[in-house]
Amino acid sequence: MSSVQRSRNHRGCLSEEPWLIAKLQDITPFQLGKATTYIREFLFSMNFDEVVLSPLETHPISYQNNTIDIEEIGQLRFNTEPEIWESSNFSNRYYSISPLFRKELIVNCLRRSAFFIVDVYQPGTPDTMLSIFHGILSKLGDKGFTQKLSTLPFGTARYDPSNDGPSGRFEETQWVITSGYDEGHSFFEVDEHGHSTRREIFLVTRFGFLEVGVLGITGWNRNRQYIMREPKDNEIIPDLGRSGICIGLERLLLAEQIVSIVRTSDE
């Protein structure tokens, strides 16, 4: 059985597929810079203000031994919140393009120790954030970065904690929005019915899936393994009328290559 055939049977996260990783060409600093320029142009046209954050956490946390502490310097940024919530005091709609850091056991171009995220906030429900994702796809598609990704269909699925991805089997390459997270897997606020508003955006192929984004109502992380090392800052209060979306920039750009590889493998 070939590695590709085994992957079709496995259907896990594509970041764990060596045969696929070997075919990817990593994103260059120039490509990353051009992509961020175009994303800024799109968000500026939508009247979003940019927030610039330090690479260091202002609110250190502990989470499954995945955080990185630098002696005598501080903790490298794991998430933009809750610090970024302060920006709601100055702007109704805002975003950041920031580096995040993880203590990854396996490192490759799809699973990095340091990577960039596009974090966008505005008033409204999580559904309103999907138009932002569509807009970024369209803008980058017009500039040659996500031409294939911007034409893929969208579907929905329940979250499957057994594989940390969408439930079901998918033969068609598409975008899938997952829902159905419990409190233990929630990084966003619950709705009026007590259900997690966390949703994830996956690129799904017949070989497996790749998480590219996450969205939900702004709120404290409800995962009990996510521990604030200091008491929650009473001055930074989440606005439950505001939603956010976080997009992994390198993964988004590499997902365009993945679509090409999958289509070639299917021929």
Read off the pLDDT of residues 49-108 as tens digits, 9 standing for 90 and up: 999 999 999 999 999 899 999 999 999 999 999 999 999 999 999 999 999 999 998 999
If one compares 29 and 227, the residue with the highest pLDDT of the two is: 29
Checking if the pLDDT of 124 tops 60, the result is yes
- What the chain holds in terms of domains, given with CATH numbers, is 3-266 (3.30.930.10)
Check residue 267 and give its pLDDT.
55
Strands 226-228 and 174-179: unpaired
Residue 189 C-alpha from the chain's centroid: 17
Check residue 5 and give its pLDDT.
45
Taking the C-alpha atoms of residue 235 and residue 251, their distance in angstroms, rounded to an integer, is 34
Say if CB 80 and CB 33 are below 8 A apart: no
Checking if the pLDDT of 238 tops 80, the result is yes
Query: What tokens appear for 200 in the block?
Result: 């994830």
88 Cβ partners below 8 Å, 6+ apart? 94, 121, 239, 242
Task: For tokens 């309103």, name the residue.
Answer: 128
pTM as predicted: 0.92
Checking if the pLDDT of 36 tops 90, the result is yes
Count the Cβ atoms, other than its own, within 10 Å of residue 71: 5
Taking the C-alpha atoms of residue 208 and residue 173, their distance in angstroms, rounded to an integer, is 10
Taking the C-alpha atoms of residue 2 and residue 112, their distance in angstroms, rounded to an integer, is 27
Say if CB 148 and CB 259 are below 8 A apart: yes
> DSSP readout, 26-79?
PPPHHHHHHHHHHHHHHHHHTTPEE----SB-SS-EEETT---EETTTEEBPS-
